[in-house]
């Protein structure tokens, strides 16, 4: 058992990773969370579900992780007053998740210090909650279970006022006062090609005293759309939650579905999934290392790294049908394999990338101007990283030694002996070092994976229908950090509640701390060193 607590009964779910699930009572929520935290565990995700159509109320779902695996706690809530104890004092990363759960579902964290709206950008009226089954959507109707109206119908043509939505959005940012203090608002619309996010800096001169973020501007209703998608269409949707992590999301979704169906994909499919995931990791690290060079006016680095990334993307398109590997993973397996000629192409690519990246690393490390901007900038101390739940590559750069490919490894990673890349300084330079180390490790893993790709006729086993009233979780170590997808099925066996979770939920709040004491012009560099997802966070 991953944790013991009086009265707590956990059942291990079928699947590729160790997941325990149990229903709890309200009195046990805080003690169990405290026990996991005190044992070195962390919060992964928090969401809710509407189960009133089955004669129940609402439910709160909290996923925690420790070295034994994932622990999913389900707390039934009242249909009349759905609230629960605030857990943000135990896990600070829970605060925004709790606020989003209220905006979307109307379940409230009782006595939480921060109860400001998070996603309500004047998009729907007060008292309306889009993830409730009786939500009357102007385009789709109640529960989104009716076909969309044809163009020209009244539902399409209604104005925001006629729909009862708000026409303004006054967000109460925290005010910092004092002699010489002033604010710099940045966004939500930015000058470059970047997703929208608002950053409110409180500064003296150029030195940052406080940063407050406001996100949610690209809220797309993805969780609601899952309600009307089939199992396979849901996998395509999951792969588009955050386009730079399409492999990680599709694999996590497929893993959750396979857990419910108790299906294990063919061996070749598991090896192919690992190959896709490592290529996604390399691609993003190459792009970010280029961008980080660009942010310190070293355009040579930007050009060279993006030449390398472009070659990798072209090989993806040629061998697997898509530059970013979208739809390569399906429930039950994969769509694309690789032949001997393709292996030789990738082995030659590995040799080229290893040679070129090693040379570029020496250029970065020996360039005084680059190192002057990297070292000591945007530091996150290990103690702060642990307290705030920093995860993924940013966490590993601040001594948080956690990688799903090492702990709780799903097949085939248990056979690959992944060498985790870590650093202790927690600054931009450390996050750059982790990226370089992970590229070389992923190149090694690619070679080992291809040595184990020994053929096989079946790329996928059919997973056409999931059992009724099922629950499954998949979690994959994406390039940015842990990507989790939870699937609930109800009476008909279709995915009825799907919750995708991006590691950016944990890491965006830490960015507010990383900038403190730095100068405003260093914010783009610090921000890019984390490179968090807007789209994966805003859903």
pLDDT in tens, 352-384: 999 999 999 999 999 999 999 999 999 999 999
The three-state secondary structure class of 186 is: strand
With 80 as the cut, is the pLDDT of residue 191 above it? no
Distance CA 54, CA 50 (A): 9
Distance CA 186, CA 176 (A): 16
Distance CA 62, CA 49 (A): 12
- Give the torsion sign (CA, 426, 429, 434, 437): negative
179, 198 in Cβ contact below 8 A?
no
With 50 as the cut, is the pLDDT of residue 151 above it? no
The three-state secondary structure class of 133 is: coil
Distance CA 145, CA 147 (A): 7
The three-state secondary structure class of 340 is: helix
From the list 395, 399, 445, 403, the residue with the least C-alpha distance to 420 is 403
Total number of residues shown for the chain: 539
Query: What residues form DSSP beta bridges with 501?
Result: 484
With 70 as the cut, is the pLDDT of residue 387 above it? yes
460, 269 in Cβ contact below 8 A?
yes
Q: At what angle do helices 340-366 and 267-295 cross, to 10 degrees?
A: 30
- Per-residue model confidence (pLDDT) at position 157: 33
Instruction: Note the pTM of the prediction, 2 decimals.
Output: 0.93
357, 308 in Cβ contact below 8 A?
yes
- Per-residue model confidence (pLDDT) at position 169: 63
With 70 as the cut, is the pLDDT of residue 139 above it? no
CATH 1.10.645.10 domain position(s) in the chain: 222-505
Indicate the average pLDDT of the chain: 91
Residue 360 tokens read as: 């570029």
353, 347 in Cβ contact below 8 A?
no
Distance CA 136, CA 508 (A): 32
Residue 393 tokens read as: 């590559």
The average pLDDT across 121-144 equals 75
The average pLDDT across 230-239 equals 95
Cα dihedral 262→267→268→274 (10° resolution): 80
CATH 3.30.460.80 domain position(s) in the chain: 1-119
CATH superfamily membership of 222-505:
Cytochrome-c3 Hydrogenase, chain B (1.10.645.10)
Distance CA 483, CA 469 (A): 24
Distance CA 66, CA 537 (A): 23
With 80 as the cut, is the pLDDT of residue 69 above it? yes
pLDDT tens-digit profile of 7-65? Answer: 899 999 999 999 999 999 999 999 999 999 999 999 999 999 999 988 899 999 999 99
Residue 179 tokens read as: 């002699």
Q: What residues contact residue 283 under an 8 Å CB cut-off, 6+ apart?
A: 309, 312, 313, 316, 324
With 90 as the cut, is the pLDDT of residue 146 above it? no
| Confidence tier at 158 by pLDDT (50, 70, 90) | very low
Distance CA 79, CA 83 (A): 10
Distance CA 483, CA 506 (A): 11
Radius of gyration in angstroms for the set of CA atoms belonging to the chain, rounded to a whole number? 23
The three-state secondary structure class of 66 is: strand
Quote the Cα angle for 291-294-295, to 5°. Answer: 90
Secondary-structure percent of the chain, ordered helix, strand, coil, rounded to 5: 40, 15, 40
State which CATH number among 2.60.40.10, 3.30.460.80, 2.40.50.140, 3.40.190.80 fits the domain covering 1-119. 3.30.460.80
Cis peptide upstream of residue 41 (ω within 30 degrees of 0):
no
- Per-residue model confidence (pLDDT) at position 465: 84
* DSSP 8-state secondary structure symbol assigned to residue 276: H
pLDDT tens-digit profile of 300-325? Answer: 999 999 999 999 999 999 999 999 99
Distance CA 308, CA 3 (A): 45
| Confidence tier at 276 by pLDDT (50, 70, 90) | very high
- Per-residue model confidence (pLDDT) at position 137: 67
- Per-residue model confidence (pLDDT) at position 138: 60
| Confidence tier at 116 by pLDDT (50, 70, 90) | very high
Lowest mean pLDDT among 86-100, 159-173, 465-479, 517-531: 159-173
Q: What is the 3-state secondary structure (H, E, C) of 459-515?
A: CECCCCCCCCCCEEEEEEECCCCEEEEEEEECCCCCEEEEEEECCHHHHHHHHHHHC
The winner for highest mean pLDDT among 4-8, 134-138, 430-434, 494-498 is 430-434
pLDDT tens-digit profile of 474-483? Answer: 999 999 999 9
Distance CA 221, CA 500 (A): 12
Query: What residues form DSSP beta bridges with 48?
Result: 60
How many helices (DSSP H) and strands (DSSP E) are in the chain? 16, 17
- Per-residue model confidence (pLDDT) at position 320: 97
Distance CA 249, CA 236 (A): 9
Q: What residues contact residue 143 under an 8 Å CB cut-off, 6+ apart?
A: 133, 134, 135, 227
């Amino acid at each position: 058992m991953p944790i013991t607590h009086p009265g707590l009964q956990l059942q291990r779910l079928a699947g590729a990773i160790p997941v325990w699930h149990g229903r709890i009572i309200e009195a046990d929520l805080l003690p169990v969370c405290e026990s996991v935290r005190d044992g070195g565990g962390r919060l992964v995700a928090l969401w809710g579900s509407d189960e009133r159509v089955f004669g129940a109320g609402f439910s709160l779902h909290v996923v925690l992780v420790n070295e034994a695996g994932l622990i999913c706690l389900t707390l039934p809530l009242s249909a009349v007053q759905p609230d629960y104890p605030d857990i943000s004092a135990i896990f600070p990363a829970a605060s925004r998740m709790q606020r989003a759960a209220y905006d979307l579902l109307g379940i409230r964290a009782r006595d939480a210090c921060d109860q400001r709206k998070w996603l309500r950008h004047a998009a729907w009226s007060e008292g309306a909650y889009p993830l409730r089954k009786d939500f009357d959507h102007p385009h789709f109707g109640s529960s989104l279970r009716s076909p969309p109206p044809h163009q020209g119908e009244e539902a399409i043509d209604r104005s925001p006022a006629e729909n009862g939505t708000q026409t303004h959005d006054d967000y109460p940012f925290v005010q910092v006062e004092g002699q010489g203090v002033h604010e710099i608002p940045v966004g939500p619309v930015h000058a470059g090609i970047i997703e929208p996010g608002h950053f409110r800096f409180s500064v003296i001169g150029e030195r940052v005293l406080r940063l407050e973020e406001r996100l949610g501007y690209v809220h797309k209703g993805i969780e609601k759309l899952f309600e009307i998608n089939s199992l396979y269409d849901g996998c395509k949707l999951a792969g588009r939650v955050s386009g730079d992590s399409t492999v990680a999301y599709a694999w996590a979704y497929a893993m959750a579905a396979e857990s419910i169906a108790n299906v294990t994909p063919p061996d070749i499919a598991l090896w192919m999934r690992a190959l896709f995931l490592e290529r996604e990791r390399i691609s993003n690290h190459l792009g970010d290392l280029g961008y980080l060079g660009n942010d310190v006016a070293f355009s040579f680095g930007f050009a060279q790294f993006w030449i390398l990334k472009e070659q990798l993307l072209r090989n993806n398109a040629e061998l697997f049908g898509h530059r970013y590997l979208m739809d390569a993973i399906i429930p039950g397996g994969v769509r694309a394999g690789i032949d001997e000629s393709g292996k030789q192409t990738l082995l030659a690519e590995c040799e080229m990338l290893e040679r070129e990246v090693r040379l570029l690393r020496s250029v970065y490390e020996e360039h005084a101007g680059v190192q002057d901007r990297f070292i000591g900038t945007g530091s996150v101390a290990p103690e702060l990283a642990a307290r705030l739940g920093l995860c993924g590559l940013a966490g590993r750069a601040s001594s948080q030694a956690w990688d799903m490919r090492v702990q709780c490894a799903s097949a085939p990673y248990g056979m690959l002996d992944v060498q985790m890349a870590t650093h202790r300084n927690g600054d931009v330079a450390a996050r750059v070092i982790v990226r370089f180390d992970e590229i070389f490790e992923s190149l090694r893993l690619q070679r080992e994976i291809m040595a184990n790709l020994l053929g096989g006729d079946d790329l996928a086993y059919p997973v056409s229908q999931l059992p009724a009233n099922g629950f499954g979780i998949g979690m994959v170590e994406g390039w940015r950090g842990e990507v989790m997808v939870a699937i609930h099925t109800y009476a008909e066996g279709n995915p009825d509640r799907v919750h995708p979770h991006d590691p950016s939920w944990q890491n965006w709040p830490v960015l507010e701390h990383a900038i403190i004491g730095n100068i405003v012009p260093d914010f783009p560099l610090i921000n890019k060193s984390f490179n968090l997802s807007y789209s994966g966070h805003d859903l």
